Structure 1
Amino acid sequence: MALLTLTNAHLAFGHVPLLDGADFSLEAGERVGLIGRNGTGKSSLLKILAGIDRPDDGSLQLQSGVRVVYVPQEPDFNDDATVFDTVSEGVAEARELRARFEAHAPGDDLDALQTRLEALGGWTWEQRVDETLQRLRLDPAGVIARLSGGTKKRVALARALAAQPDVLLLDEPTNHLDLEAIDWLADLLTGFRGALVLITHDRAFLDAVATRIVELDRGHLHGYPGNFAAFEAAKQRELEAEALANARFDKLLAQEEVWIRKGVEARRTRSVARVARLVKLREEHRARREQQGKVRLDIDRGASSGKLVAELDGVGKRYGDKTIVQDFSAIFLRGDKVGLVGPNGAGKTTLLKLILGQLAPDSGTVRTGSNLTIAYFDQMREALDPEKTLADTISPGSEWIEIGSQRKHVMSYLGDFLFAPARANSPVKSLSGGERNRLLLARLFARPANVLVLDEPTNDLDIETLELLEELLQDYDGTVFLVSHDRRFVDNVVTSTVVAEGEGRWREYEGGIADWQAQSARSAAIEAAARPAPTPAPKAPEPAVAPSTAKKKLSYKEQRELDELPARIEALEAEQARLAAEIGGTALYTESPQRIAEVTGRHAAIEDELMQLLERWEALSHRG
């Protein structure tokens, strides 16, 4: 029997149906990723499953005794409370019952209290809280007001886990978490023994955690077994089949419309049944809810900057006793797309300001290029005035907006970002988190810029908008500096990654997060292999011999290997391109699961082989 079941649920805001006869059930041990467009009602659905809100129609049934705990996007805390007291709120009932039992006021049924206390594990609630705090690496004496956004997320999870729920509902749990914390959370949730429903747009996180994907689309819930990668393949086939069915339907409707408008002779002999079918087709066409419009993103690129954007040489920066940047050198050119990766508090914002010449270094030099026009995406949305309307936010005092050589009406421009004309005069404070991010992107892209600085732009954006934003940034011919913990987004956008390696050390790697991790792992393995084994106790010293400074020449076999390496690398790259085209197409997914696994597995293995060959080529080249 399912832990919870939602049947024929209906929910509407105004004339927009968010749930339209939706059905959902959750089995024990399932980890469900709930995805869908911003504004489709995912958070509303999660609140209905938590029992916080009720649908307009339909029913929610819970298995007897099931405990459901909900963690919202922005958890509510008492800022003056300690971490221990806040997490203890998760066992509030057990704590209160034990206090009542120990006080044993007249009229209390002590047997009933004891039975309930044992069911809740109330005799050891302090131990449960302590164990949860240790597991989530939290300081029980910490004060909520002094915690970072990422640590507050951990406190909210700790409060939920201390309750030992059978069903855990999480709304955007990865927001404000850095890469290390996201990996930690993925491990935590995959080890969670209860059932889980989570809303997230982090595709790599979904791949690591989810056992089923449920998409909320046009008021209905569609389930797909497996993680997000499996969903993508299934969804592509489904959308193609839907487009084909709609095309056939439209063709039939067009044929019937032509027939009904024929001359007098045809009308005299027309079939009543055929006319009835046409009427039915027209009704179905009106009722058919087309796939929701796609956001259209464009950007005013402004004038080109000089070829050099920034050159840093031995740059250092300290705040008090803390070293933020130490001896960092790099060159950034026009068109580079640079990811900055590091734990929260590592100094990514400080490094960005140094690169852009907005902060003077304590040591070293920074040279910035000419004609730089910088546009910022603000992580905390401080640039948005909640009282202003959407139209005034985009184009204050004017109905028109200039984007490059184009002139657009503000209503049309907002429509490109999926804001209906009726909402143009709504205040910013009426928007959801994802809609505010979309509005901030609209505001950013309306300004001429040849350098974009994007600080966590992916928070609260739906997956389709993320993919479109990726395409825009890939095609953008200016320079991009990107701070994000969404590893799939970073990997799909950046050309290089600057990584915090501790104690103020930063290092630039070619490629994205996956490339950095692969290169770091290989470097560590090479260093470990090159490290000499422990030597026995030294013997009597021999006469010193002057060290040779000459390079050891390549042997005949090594020289032959070096000559053959370019052709081998080229062949692997060609095979990789062919497999990528096959994976990106549709024919592969009509074949057997074994064939799909074979192709995707080989595509992943080629990357490792290429890196090994490139490293071997570099090593031999230096000696040759």
Structure 2
Amino acid sequence: MEFVFHINRLNKYYGTRQVLKDICLSFYPGAKIGVVGENGAGKSTLLRIMAGQDKDFQGEAEPCKGVRVGYVPQEPQLDPTRTVKGNLELAFGEIMELLKEFDELSMKMCEVEGDEYDKVANRMAAVQDKIDAADGWNIDQKLSVAANALVLPPDDMDVTTLSGGERRRVALARALLEQPDILLLDEPTNHLDAETIAWLEGQLRDYPGTVIIVTHDRYFLDNVTKWILELDGGRGIPFEGNYSSWLAQKIEILARQEKSAQRRKSLEGELKWIRMNTAGHHELARQRLADYERLVAEEMKADDDIAIQIAPAAHLGDQVIEIKDLAKGFGATPLYSNVSFTLPKGAVVGLIGPNGTGKTTLLRMITGNDTPDAGTITIGQTVRLAYVDQHRDHLNGENTVYDEIRDGCEEISFGKQSIPARAYVGRFNFKGSDQQKLVSELSGGERNRVHLAKLLKSGANVLLLDEPTNDLDVNTLRMLEDAINGFGGCVMVISHDRFFLNRICSHLLVFEGEGKVRWFEGNFEEYEDVRRREIGDAYENRRARYRRIV
């Protein structure tokens, strides 16, 4: 089979707005493809069309004869009548029916004689052959492997009580067990910890079928994909190579077109960082702390070509945030104890660790929205905090994007400079009529951009960001990284995005579990190296143990 899926003259509209324009593509069997583009470019729409869930389009989009397509959307639906294990068993529907029939035939063998016995025995042998061919006797083992590797909730748990992240992991496990010929994944790494993401990379690299991924995780794209499909202005443009290769090709295209100099500079900076070794990354983080005074002294210019900037902040004093002997728990469940660290001026601190270990709780205690069980949190007198939680609920759905961000101001102040409010809103990729969208109509990524636009103009000198990378497109992530790296204040950020953490962090606060929290000087890849040396093979234990799910 030369191709597994064909798209011909595909056009898609939302009202009068055209999202996809005359896309013509054919997909190779076994190809690993990453889809990139700005929020609203049609990445999720393309996957829904390929999955057969969106039929309201013009043109052709269909798999080749006999090709099975699997799809894990950002908000997957599970069978509410089944438990976690019951939903996983749906991946083996035909085999489960054979196993059920085999058990029924076994019971019937005890009840029949003569010719009827021979008939039942022959059917039983045929069923057994089918089960053997499909390795059906090991289903329970396969389910256990998937559940442990993706850290699923208990087998008997009611799926209607699961969080969004838990539902996504169950759906992802089921899709991997089904092994369709084409696997479509929309933001599969959201809500996964770093170890699980690394395990998933290995699974998808070895996956026998075609994999098409929409994700903001650039390491994931670099490590898994061999093709990048860019959606730009409604067009679908394929590039051979992984994410780093796409960056290099994109820089050359922008240079030939002699336009978008600021974007080209940002792309070049990211590619240079990717090609830099660990020692170079560490030196950049160390230099940030040494250059604190220079960062504060540099007044940003109100340059319309720069997409995202953080408003210059008041100078921080010697004391920023000091935490001493902190303890916190909920009821009889302790989160951590004896946590102590001092936040240096100019530091960018990544808070990392599994879900439920108390990262968000720590930020809430720093802002005064929660209280510690023991210990002290001291905030310096010069500190001005700004915080947005991961739920992003504090938006007025009846406002337009423009009114929600500008907050009644026609000009947005940036230190001694100011820019028109519409130009500022446009920097967050809300152009033209998009500024008049109601907040209630926005996607998750668009809501995130609205929050960032409000937060980054606040003039705070300590920013607390809770999962700011979720649902953002790669271009916005890159610009946010550039903005943080040029910011003269401090940032504390919760994220599972390894690339993002490596590019911006000077320190980490690592929630290692069992009540232990470690203050670490360095970025994520440096912490991984230290952790690997400390515990040796145990660090790779889960990846090795569950390597052969696909």
Deviation at 1:199, TM superposition (A): 0.3
Report the counterpart of residue 343 of structure 1 in structure 2.
Answer: 354
Map Cα deviations across residues 54-101 of structure 1 (whole Å, 9 max, x no partner): 474332342221110111111123556411233344456777899999
Report the counterpart of residue 156 of structure 2 in structure 1.
Answer: 141
* 1:426/1:224 CA distance change after superposition, 3 Å: closer
8 A Cα contact 1:94 1:117, kept in partner:
no
* 1:171/1:126 CA distance change after superposition, 3 Å: farther
Report the counterpart of residue 5 of structure 1 in structure 2.
Answer: 6
Map Cα deviations across residues 521-556 of structure 1 (whole Å, 9 max, x no partner): 34557xxxxxxxxxxxxxxxxxxxxxxxxxxxxxxx
Q: Which of 203-212 and 160-169 deviates more?
A: 160-169
Deviation at 1:322, TM superposition (A): 3.1
Question: Whole-Å Cα distance in 1 between the matches of residues 177 and 305 of structure 2?
Answer: 41
- The AA in structure 1 aligned to 2:186 is D
Question: Whole-Å Cα distance in 1 between the matches of residues 103 and 197 of structure 2?
Answer: 41
| Structure 2 SS opposite 1:519 | helix
- The AA in structure 1 aligned to 2:85 is F
- The AA in structure 2 aligned to 1:12 is Y
8 A Cα contact 2:85 2:143, kept in partner:
no
- Would you say 1:180 and 2:195 are equivalent positions? yes
- The AA in structure 1 aligned to 2:509 is V
8 A Cα contact 2:350 2:508, kept in partner:
yes
Map Cα deviations across residues 263-291 of structure 1 (whole Å, 9 max, x no partner): xxxxxxxxxxxxxxxxxxxxxxxxxxxxx
8 A Cα contact 1:173 1:200, kept in partner:
yes
Report the counterpart of residue 71 of structure 2 in structure 1.
Answer: 70
* 1:56/1:321 CA distance change after superposition, 3 Å: closer
Question: Whole-Å Cα distance in 2 between the matches of residues 181 and 524 of structure 1?
Answer: 18
| Structure 1 SS opposite 2:436 | coil
* 1:121/1:429 CA distance change after superposition, 3 Å: farther
Question: Whole-Å Cα distance in 1 between the matches of residues 310 and 513 of structure 2?
Answer: 36
Deviation at 1:367, TM superposition (A): 2.2
8 A Cα contact 2:50 2:62, kept in partner:
no
8 A Cα contact 1:394 1:446, kept in partner:
no
Report the counterpart of residue 299 of structure 1 in structure 2.
Answer: 310
- Would you say 1:456 and 2:457 are equivalent positions? no
Map Cα deviations across residues 285-319 of structure 1 (whole Å, 9 max, x no partner): xxxxxxxx977212334433432111223323333
Map Cα deviations across residues 412-445 of structure 1 (whole Å, 9 max, x no partner): 3322222124233321122222212111111212
Deviation at 1:476, TM superposition (A): 0.8
Counterparts in 2 of 1:300-319, with a 5 A limit? Answer: 300-319=311-330
8 A Cα contact 2:310 2:484, kept in partner:
no
* 1:74/1:385 CA distance change after superposition, 3 Å: farther
Q: Which of 147-156 and 65-74 deviates more?
A: 147-156
Q: Which has the higher contact order (CA 8 A, sep 6+)?
A: 2
- The AA in structure 1 aligned to 2:311 is D
- Would you say 1:509 and 2:520 are equivalent positions? yes
Map Cα deviations across residues 312-354 of structure 1 (whole Å, 9 max, x no partner): 2332333334332222221112321111111111111223344
Instruction: For structure 2, list consecutive stretches of 5 or more residues without a partner in the other structure.
Output: 105-125, 262-303, 537-550
Report the counterpart of residue 401 of structure 2 in structure 1.
Answer: 390
8 A Cα contact 2:385 2:462, kept in partner:
yes
* 1:230/1:421 CA distance change after superposition, 3 Å: closer
Question: Whole-Å Cα distance in 2 between the matches of residues 410 and 325 of structure 1?
Answer: 43
Report the counterpart of residue 236 of structure 2 in structure 1.
Answer: 221
| Structure 1 SS opposite 2:53 | coil
Report the counterpart of residue 52 of structure 1 in structure 2.
Answer: 53
Counterparts in 2 of 1:74-89, with a 5 A limit? Answer: 74-77=75-78, 81-89=82-90
Aligned length: 470
Question: Whole-Å Cα distance in 2 between the matches of residues 130 and 429 of structure 1?
Answer: 45
Report the counterpart of residue 143 of structure 2 in structure 1.
Answer: 132
* 1:183/1:294 CA distance change after superposition, 3 Å: farther
- The AA in structure 2 aligned to 1:218 is G
Report the counterpart of residue 466 of structure 1 in structure 2.
Answer: 477
Question: Whole-Å Cα distance in 1 between the matches of residues 51 and 372 of structure 2?
Answer: 51
Q: TM-score, normalised by structure 2?
A: 0.76
Bigger Rg, structure 1 or 2: 1
Report the counterpart of residue 492 of structure 2 in structure 1.
Answer: 481
Report the counterpart of residue 33 of structure 2 in structure 1.
Answer: 32
* 1:409/1:122 CA distance change after superposition, 3 Å: farther
Report the counterpart of residue 344 of structure 2 in structure 1.
Answer: 333
Report the counterpart of residue 243 of structure 1 in structure 2.
Answer: 258
Q: Which of 299-308 and 39-48 deviates more?
A: 299-308
Deviation at 1:408, TM superposition (A): 4.6
* 1:403/1:79 CA distance change after superposition, 3 Å: farther
| Structure 2 SS opposite 1:375 | strand
- The AA in structure 2 aligned to 1:498 is L
Question: Whole-Å Cα distance in 2 between the matches of residues 194 and 119 of structure 1?
Answer: 22
Report the counterpart of residue 266 of structure 1 in structure 2.
Answer: none
- The AA in structure 2 aligned to 1:19 is L
* 1:181/1:415 CA distance change after superposition, 3 Å: same
8 A Cα contact 1:213 1:223, kept in partner:
yes
Report the counterpart of residue 613 of structure 1 in structure 2.
Answer: none
Report the counterpart of residue 179 of structure 2 in structure 1.
Answer: 164
Q: TM-score, normalised by structure 1?
A: 0.68
| Structure 2 SS opposite 1:205 | helix
8 A Cα contact 1:98 1:123, kept in partner:
no
| Structure 1 SS opposite 2:320 | strand
Deviation at 1:219, TM superposition (A): 2.5
Deviation at 1:2, TM superposition (A): 0.7
Report the counterpart of residue 441 of structure 1 in structure 2.
Answer: 452
Report the counterpart of residue 233 of structure 1 in structure 2.
Answer: 248
Deviation at 1:125, TM superposition (A): 7.5
Map Cα deviations across residues 151-179 of structure 1 (whole Å, 9 max, x no partner): 22211112323433111101111112121
| Structure 1 SS opposite 2:190 | coil
Question: Whole-Å Cα distance in 2 between the matches of residues 124 and 522 of structure 1?
Answer: 38
Question: Whole-Å Cα distance in 2 between the matches of residues 461 and 120 of structure 1?
Answer: 44
- The AA in structure 2 aligned to 1:327 is N
Deviation at 1:482, TM superposition (A): 0.8
Question: Whole-Å Cα distance in 2 between the matches of residues 438 and 315 of structure 1?
Answer: 33
8 A Cα contact 1:10 1:55, kept in partner:
no
Deviation at 1:221, TM superposition (A): 2.2
- The AA in structure 2 aligned to 1:366 is I
8 A Cα contact 2:38 2:473, kept in partner:
yes
Counterparts in 2 of 1:113-124, with a 5 A limit? Answer: none
- The AA in structure 1 aligned to 2:68 is R
| Structure 2 SS opposite 1:497 | strand
Deviation at 1:119, TM superposition (A): 9.0
Instruction: For structure 1, list consecutive stretches of 5 or more residues without a partner in the other structure.
Output: 104-114, 247-292, 526-624
Question: Whole-Å Cα distance in 1 between the matches of residues 234 and 422 of structure 2?
Answer: 26
* 1:398/1:241 CA distance change after superposition, 3 Å: closer
